[in-house]
Amino acid sequence: MSRTHEIIASLRGEIAALPTVELPPIIGQMATRRGSHEPQQLPRPARRPSRIERGAEDRLLTSEEVAERLGQTSRWVRSHWRDLKARVDLPGRTLRFSEQRLDTYLRNRTRQQ
């Protein structure tokens, strides 16, 4: 075990033995001293925008609008939403579909038939 590991193990033992009331001041002191010892963080590379973000405005469609375009019922769309590549994951139970992705899906589907 290296010297650093020994020191850290010793400190952990001492901190574990302290009453919890004494921990906040120690944590505060450690936080103020760590500024110059932190490694410099590298900037994150920029995220490449998706095809939808690069293109025109995309509209989110409801299951009723998708059903109309597919010639199905909205109930069918709600039961097959996982299969449709145009779905957009939103929080909660909101179900929406990307208009651009749906158009791409329909173009590809008609080419395969």
pTM of the prediction? Answer: 0.47
pLDDT single digits (tens) 68-92 = 998 999 999 989 888 887 888 778 8
| Rounded-to-10 torsion of CA 45, 48, 49, 55 | 140
5-63, pLDDT tens digit by residue? 888 888 788 877 878 777 777 777 776 665 555 565 667 767 666 554 555 678 899 99
Cβ contact 87:95 at 8 Å: yes
Rg of the chain (C-alpha set) = 28
